[in-house]
Amino acid sequence: MVEQLKFIVEQLKRPPFNRKDYNILTFDNLTNNQLLQVLTDVFAVVDPYDPSHKIDIRDEEPDKTATRHMNTLKMLGYRPKLETDVNTFRQNLVSGDKSVVFPILQWLLEKIPEHKERAYLGRYLSRIDVPSEFLSDPEIAEQHERSDELMEEFKEVHREYKELTSTPHTIEDLRRDIKQLEDEKETLQKRLEKQKTKVQKVPASQIELAKTYRQEVDKEEKLNNMKQDLNNVIHQLEQKIQRLERQIADQRSSSFDQSPEAIMKRMEEENQVNSYLVTDKFPKQLSQMKIKLKYYEEVTNNKALGQTEITNYRAKITELNSVINKLHEKRVLTKDPTADNLAVFRQQALIVARRKEQAAERLTQLRAENDALEKQFGQNLPMGKTGASSTAKSSGQIPQGEEFQRYVNVLRHKSNSYKRKRQEINDMTAELQLLKRTEELLKEQVEQIKGRMGMEERKQGIEGYFSTQERLEELSTMKMEQDELKGKTLDEITGLIKTLNNRISSKKAELDPILKEVKPLRAKIQELRNEYEAKKSRYDALNANFETSRSTLESEVRGFYEEQYAQESRFHTLRAQMLINAVQLKRANDEQSSYMSKDKATKSNREQLNKQINDCEVRVKNNRERQKQTKDVQIDGTKQLKYWRDLLRMMELKRKIAMGES
């Protein structure tokens, strides 16, 4: 705790907070409202684009402050401790409790840059919760899909921006790259000039042939690309066919499990779940709602309390809680160690009951969502007419083009959501059945231990001690549950406990005959379960044989497909080779006919090539003669240059002798 306070105070003293007046003692002595104001100021730094954080919380209603804080923490991805209840966390955050505000401040101040980036992204990537009934409107659905597309585009742009900013580029590196590119440019220009000079010496006929060859190569590359695209399309269609075949197989396999035993088992499970909801969960929720309603009515009927009265009531509640805690500690110290075994099972039963309540709550929520989806699905069945154009509306035809594609995408999304929710309902139902069975086993173990404890009490002469101890534990458990309701006095809690004990006794009396009727049904269920296991083992054996044969057939079909592809590839290769050979044969025949022809106007390629060879030989001979003449002239010029240099040297010596120079 001290390290946490020290870290928070040190971070708040730094920019951009600059709270130099804070130290560990002053910060620890801040009131709850002042802590909420500090939390708001930190939110204003983390999310500077949201003006709602730049406010004095004294000018804002507490509900709006709590809503703003919860939404900001949800956007930043804050997760409280696992053992913290959501309602307790929300209440402590609203009141500004230190146990909640201090961890939030530490979490925010540890990674401020990351939280700033998350807040910036959250402004543009927060999805709008559109009710499902509005999505049936084609225009709203289109705008919703457009919003999702823009979010994806924003993600891609932001990712590219992060990559660019994360790559270090100095000025020297850029100058070096520019210089290197300029050098490469000069090198390429020189090579281009050399190639131009070489090309100018090449005859025009050869350039034309090279151009034709290049065009044919480009055409071949385009054809190869088209072939690759067609192969990709074929592969996609094959994958789509396989996916549809798997869906058909899944539908067929799902229709197999329609035996009377399976239907009866599902009906029994659903009946057990519904009976638990009707007899246990819903009455408990109803009683809690009535108690809350009664409390709210008392609050509204009473006059408004001042700050002094509220402080007095809080002091009284604190005093009563301390008295209760002392009594509880005293009871724990004076507790008989022989009751420890039973306490373990009672704790397990309490855990199982809570898990069962959570599973039932989740099941109720999933059923409500499933009903809403089914209702919406039923309303959207005629969407083909409502979403089509005016012509389609008048004629009653199904939508075409983009409208039909949009309708198919919406329907696929809803179908996937329905399947996922249905699977969650099945999982929760199975978990609820498992929890109920565990609870029954624990109850049986508790009853057995109670019997043994009663015998031990009679032997020791302290009969009734265990029941008294159990009543005290029940009162303690009820006290822990009722402490969550605010503003309860000790007299109200005692009266509520008495009412609950009376109701529990009446419910136990009502359940005794039902439990007697359930015992023979359990034996019948056990017989049906054994029969089910036997039939399931036979089914698994048949299914294994079927899967083996199916995998063998699939491997054979795959081999046939590969052989077919190989033969088709070989066929196309041979066909292309035949076309090339035919073209070459035609050229050879044309050459032979033109060579054997007596018409001198049309010359064959052989004659043209011979003529070009003779011309080249003549030019080579002329160039050699010119080279020989150039060499002779060069030799004469070199001799004359040497003579002139000797003459100049001799004249210079004569000049020096005449001038008397040594």
Q: What is the pLDDT of residue 594?
A: 74
Q: What is the pLDDT of residue 46?
A: 85
Q: Which residues have C-beta within 8 Å of that of residue 273, sequence separation ≥ 6?
A: 360, 363, 429, 432, 433
Q: What is the DSSP letter of 137?
A: S
- Which residue, among 334, 257, 230, has the nearest Cα to 569 in the 3D structure? 230
- Rounded Cα–Cα distance for residues 66 and 40 (Å): 11
Q: What is the pLDDT of residue 389?
A: 38
Q: What is the pLDDT of residue 305?
A: 62
**The domain that contains 44 carries what CATH number?**
1.10.418.70
Interior/surface letters 93-108, b for 16+ CB within 10 angstroms, e for the rest: bbebeeebbbbbbebb
pLDDT tens digits for 498-514?
Answer: 777 777 777 777 777 77
- Which residue, among 352, 355, 370, 358, has the nearest Cα to 425 in the 3D structure? 370
Report the percentage of the chain scoring pLDDT > 90. 2
For residue 122, give its domain range.
1-126
Cis peptide before 260 (omega within 30 of 0): no
Cβ neighbourhood burial of 88 (10 Å; 0-12, 13-18, 19+): middle
Let me know if residue 225 belongs to a domain. no
pLDDT tens digits for 180-229?
Answer: 888 888 888 888 888 888 777 777 787 788 888 888 888 888 888 888 88
Q: What is the pLDDT of residue 466?
A: 64
303 versus 281: the higher-pLDDT residue is 281
DSSP codes, 258-275:
--HHHHHHHHHHHHHHHH
Mean pLDDT of 558-574: 90
81 versus 550: the higher-pLDDT residue is 550
Q: What is the DSSP letter of 127?
A: P
| Residues constituting the chain | 662
Query: Is the predicted pLDDT of residue 610 greater than 80, yes or no?
Result: yes
- Rounded Cα–Cα distance for residues 415 and 374 (Å): 10
- Rounded Cα–Cα distance for residues 195 and 187 (Å): 12
Mean pLDDT of 425-439: 77
State both tokens at 103: 């961890």
**Strand positions, DSSP E, 164-261:** none
Query: Is the predicted pLDDT of residue 443 greater than 60, yes or no?
Result: yes
Query: Can you say whether residue 487 is alpha, beta or left, with left for phi > 0 and alpha for psi between -120 and 50 degrees?
Result: left
Yes or no: say if 496 and 291 are a contact pair by the CB < 8 Å rule.
yes
Mean pLDDT of 231-243: 85
Let me know if residue 4 belongs to a domain. yes
Query: Is the predicted pLDDT of residue 483 greater than 70, yes or no?
Result: no
Q: What is the pLDDT of residue 182?
A: 87
In the structure, what pLDDT confidence band is assigned to residue 578 with cuts at 50, 70 and 90?
A: very high
Let me know if residue 145 belongs to a domain. no
Query: Can you say whether residue 623 is alpha, beta or left, with left for phi > 0 and alpha for psi between -120 and 50 degrees?
Result: alpha
Mean pLDDT of 5-9: 84
Cβ neighbourhood burial of 223 (10 Å; 0-12, 13-18, 19+): exposed
Let me know if residue 83 belongs to a domain. yes
Cis peptide before 138 (omega within 30 of 0): no
Q: Which residues have C-beta within 8 Å of that of residue 238, sequence separation ≥ 6?
A: none
pLDDT tens digits for 338-366?
Answer: 445 555 666 667 777 777 777 777 777 77
Q: What is the pLDDT of residue 571?
A: 92
* C-alpha separations of 242 from 249, 415, 547 in Å: 10, 20, 16
- The number of folded domains in the chain is 1
Mean pLDDT of 287-293: 83
pLDDT tens digits for 57-94?
Answer: 888 887 788 888 888 888 888 887 766 677 777 778 88
Q: What is the pLDDT of residue 343?
A: 59
- Which residue, among 175, 466, 525, 239, has the nearest Cα to 346 in the 3D structure? 466
Q: What is the pLDDT of residue 521?
A: 82
Yes or no: say if 356 and 345 are a contact pair by the CB < 8 Å rule.
no
51 versus 487: the higher-pLDDT residue is 51
Average pLDDT, the chain: 77
pLDDT tens digits for 94-138?
Answer: 888 888 888 888 888 888 888 888 888 877 777 777 777 777 777
Give the three-state DSSP class for 448.
Answer: helix
Query: Is the predicted pLDDT of residue 658 greater than 80, yes or no?
Result: yes
- Which residue, among 354, 602, 331, 574, has the nearest Cα to 469 in the 3D structure? 331
Yes or no: say if 101 and 39 are a contact pair by the CB < 8 Å rule.
yes
Give the three-state DSSP class for 382.
Answer: coil
- Which residue, among 333, 349, 347, 338, has the nearest Cα to 455 in the 3D structure? 338
* C-alpha separations of 39 from 100, 216, 593 in Å: 11, 72, 98
Mean pLDDT of 301-319: 74
Q: What is the pLDDT of residue 537?
A: 84
Q: Which residues have C-beta within 8 Å of that of residue 16, sequence separation ≥ 6?
A: 45
- Rounded Cα–Cα distance for residues 587 and 593 (Å): 10
What is the CB neighbour count within 10 angstroms for residue 496? 18
Least confident of 10-14, 56-60, 76-80, 385-389: 385-389
**Strand positions, DSSP E, 181-269:** none
Let me know if residue 98 belongs to a domain. yes
Q: What is the pLDDT of residue 490?
A: 52
Rounded (5°) CA angle 118-122-127? 145
* C-alpha separations of 537 from 123, 531, 542, 548, 559 in Å: 56, 10, 9, 17, 33
Q: What are the φ and ψ backbone dihedral angles of 355, each rounded to 5 degrees?
A: -65, -35
* C-alpha separations of 600 from 296, 593, 603, 613, 615 in Å: 119, 12, 6, 19, 19
Query: Is the predicted pLDDT of residue 390 greater than 50, yes or no?
Result: no
pLDDT tens digits for 136-183?
Answer: 777 777 887 888 888 888 888 888 877 777 655 556 777 787 888 888
- Rounded Cα–Cα distance for residues 271 and 357 (Å): 17
Q: Residue 221: CA atoms inside 13 Å, Cβ hemisphere, count?
A: 6
Q: What is the pLDDT of residue 385?
A: 38
Give residue 295's Cα distance to chain centre.
44
DSSP codes, 23-73:
-HHHHHT--HHHHHHHHHHHHHHH-TT-GGGSS-GGGS-HHHHHHHHHHHH
